[in-house]
Amino acid sequence: MGEHTEPSAFHPNRAGIRKVLGDLEAEVLELVWERSGESGVTARDLYEELRQRRPIAYTTVMTTMQRLHKKGLLECDRQEQAYVYSPRMDREQFIERFVGRILDDLLASFSGATLSHLSSAADPGERERVAELLARIVERRQRGEA
Amino acid sequence: MLLSTAIVAALVGIAGVHLAHRAKNPATRVHLALWSLAVIPVSLSVCALSLSGRFSVGNPFCDDCPTGTLASLVFSFGATALSLALLVGLLRIALLTHILRRGLFPAPAHLQGRADDLARRAGGREVPVLLFGSEMPVACTWGLVGPRVVLSTWMVENLDMEELEAVLAHELAHALGRDCPTIWLATLLRDATFYLPWAWQARRAVITGKELLADDAAVAATGRPVALASAIAKVWQRSLLEPPFPAGTALQLSEAGSGLQMRIERLLGPEAAGNERGSEASRPVSTTGRFGPAAPAQLLVFSLALVAVCSLV
């Protein structure tokens, strides 16, 4: 197996695993995880599923899976005439890995600020409570309540 | 007698704190909490004075009870504790004055004008509004005599005019209700009772009660409970990123331990809507529930009764 390229881009405004992966990469990886109980999936399997959602080329799916393999997120085995892909890590392991990678990078570059923010986020529940209250308040003010 | 007075006073204090935290009326909450804080020092002082013979509520059935040494000891100990608490209280004021005086400047005319308008409608005197440059979310009332409203520039830059007006009305309620001396007194009594757990609880109940009363007064003055809730929530959210200002004896909008979530929920609930309707009748911006002029006399009478009862035991 060749050298893997880790996901390197981080998009803070995007949701879920799309923070570190492209849209199609994320979609393909999600599908591979969904089918992780199977012995593996081929590019053809995913192509058949994705084309039901929108028009897409087989080569696009194949290229995306190869890219995920290069990034070290998918295993690739040649079985008979086809390449069979399976996830190298489950969703939790992947999230843990990219969160750790981002935090390590932040700590290396801005250790003081990162540690300060981590300590202030000691109670994530409190942040959620404030965010929820603010959302309610914004909604009520938009309805014209003073 | 001294021991029994201390025990009974402590029990009364603890019961008072418990009742204060359960009180639905914020004014009652403040009143009960202040009583709880004051009952032990006042009762023990009366008891010590009585035992030393300077003040007679002694046991009528025991003329030969030993007096003097123990009473003097308790009296000296109490006086020392109170002096130390007073010193710490004065140091707090000096420190806060030193911190706040650096870089304070008058608020823009439109903000001061809005505050003056709110104060006039409340029938109170005009209160100076001062700003200081900071990314911390600070809105507080400061000053034992001649209180001033202090806002950080973060507040002015990040709150809209409705939120800012609600915050001003809240702080004016503290200023016109002379809440700073009350909180200072509560802090002094907490320090004088050697930071006993119930004293912390009682001081927190005083602060919560004062904040609730100021919230009510602000809603009555502006008719905008949701705007005030929004301002408090924004300040709370910001405080999670930027550590809050060490207010000491100044009363802050987002006072730690004042139950921010409870206050916001209360402002969003039907109770605040009731207060808002009250604003149509131009209710004044003021807070009640402070230690009124009659309260020290009531407390003294209560302590005398307590010591007299304990002397019979």
pLDDT digits (tens, 9 = 90+) for A2-54: 455 566 677 776 777 888 888 899 999 999 988 877 678 889 989 998 998 88
Question: What 3-state DSSP class applies to B142?
Answer: strand
Tally A–B CB contacts below 8 A: 46
Q: Which chain A residues are closer than 8 Å to B165 by Cβ?
A: none
Map A69-102 to HEC letters. HHCCCEEEEEECCEEEEEECCCHHHHHHHHHHHH
Q: Among A81-95, B21-35, B270-284, whose mean pLDDT is lowest?
A: B270-284
Enter the tokens of residue A51. 């084309």
- Which pLDDT band holds residue B305 (cuts at 50, 70, 90)? confident
Instruction: State the Cα–Cα distance between residues B12 and B226, nearest whole angstrom.
Output: 38
How far, CA to CA in Å, does A109 sit from each of A11, A57, A106, A112, B241?
A: 18, 41, 5, 9, 20
pLDDT at B171 over 90: yes
Mean pLDDT (whole number) for B88-93: 84
Range with lowest mean pLDDT among B27-31, B59-63, B220-224, B281-285 = B281-285
What was the pLDDT predicted at B166? 95
pLDDT at B60: 46
* pLDDT at res. B138: 86
Tokens representing residue B175 in the block: 């200023």
Alpha carbon distance B162, B228 (integer Å): 8
Residue A78 confidence (pLDDT): 85
| pLDDT on residue B175 | 92
Asked if the C-beta of A121 comes within 8 angstroms of chain B's C-beta atoms, the answer is yes
Q: What is the pLDDT of residue B273?
A: 58
Q: What six digits make up the tokens of B33?
A: 């909490």
- What are the start-end ranges of the H helices in chain A? 23-34, 43-51, 58-70, 91-109, 111-120, 124-142
| Residue B149: per-residue pLDDT | 93
Q: Are A137 and B229 in contact (CB under 8 A)?
A: yes
Confidence tier at B282 by pLDDT (50, 70, 90): very low
Kindly indicate the confidence band of residue B217, based on its pLDDT and cuts at 50, 70 and 90: very high
C-alpha separations of B35 from B9, B181, B286 in Å: 11, 15, 21
Question: What pLDDT, on a 0 to 100 scale, did the predictor assign at position B288?
Answer: 44
Cα dist. B216→A30, A73, A136, B109, B132 in Å? 51, 57, 20, 26, 27
The least confident of B16-30, B188-202, B212-226, B294-308 is: B294-308
Quick check: B230 and A126 CB within 8 A? no
Residues 6+ apart with CB under 8 A from A34: none
- Rounded percentage of chain B residues whose pLDDT exceeds 90: 24
- β-pairing, A41-42 vs A74-79, is unpaired
ipTM: 0.71
Least confident of A103-107, B132-136, B204-208, B255-259: B255-259
Residue, of B246 and B215, whose pLDDT is higher: B215
Chain B touched by A144 (CB under 8 Å):
no
Dig out the tokens for B75 from the structure. 């009296």
pLDDT of residue A120: 59
Residue B243 banded pLDDT, cuts 50, 70, 90: low
Distance from CA of A115 to the nearest CA of B (A): 12
Residue B164, pLDDT > 50, answer yes
* Higher local confidence (pLDDT), B301 or B296: B301
Per-residue model confidence (pLDDT) at position B287 = 46
Top pLDDT among B112 and B259 is at: B112
Check pLDDT > 90 for residue B238: no
For testing the chain A interface, which of B224, B240, B262 should be mutated: the one with the most A CBs within 10 Å?
B240
Structure tokens at B205: 């109940």
The CA–CA distances, whole Å, from B301 to B24, B33, B112 equal 26, 18, 44
- Cβ of B240 within 8 Å of Cβ of A127? The answer is yes
End-to-end Cα separation, chain A, in angstroms: 63
Tens digit of each residue's pLDDT (9 = 90 or more) over A61-111: 999 999 999 888 898 888 878 889 999 888 888 888 888 888 878 777 777
- The pLDDT score that the predictor gives to residue B279 is 45
Contact B227, B162 (CB under 8 A): yes
| Band of residue A57 on the pLDDT scale cut at 50, 70, 90 | very high
Strands B129-132 and B148-152: parallel
Residue with the two structure tokens 């100044």: B250
pLDDT band at residue B220, thresholds of 50, 70 and 90? very high
Whether A126 has its CB under 8 Å from any CB of chain B: the answer is yes
- Which strand ranges, in their side-by-side order, compose the sheet holding B129-132? B104-106, B129-132, B148-152, B139-142, B251-252
Task: For chain B, list the strands marked E by DSSP.
Answer: 104-106, 129-132, 139-142, 148-152, 251-252
Q: Which own/partner contact pairs does B127-134 have at CB distance under 8 Å and 24+ positions apart?
A: B127/B172, B127/B175, B127/B176, B129/B168, B130/B104, B130/B105, B130/B106, B131/B104, B131/B105, B131/B106, B131/B107, B131/B156, B132/B100, B132/B102, B132/B103, B132/B104, B132/B105, B133/B103, B134/B245
B164 vs B194, more confident: B164
Q: DSSP character for A19?
A: G
Which chain B residue has the Cα nearest residue A146?
B224
pLDDT at A15: 74
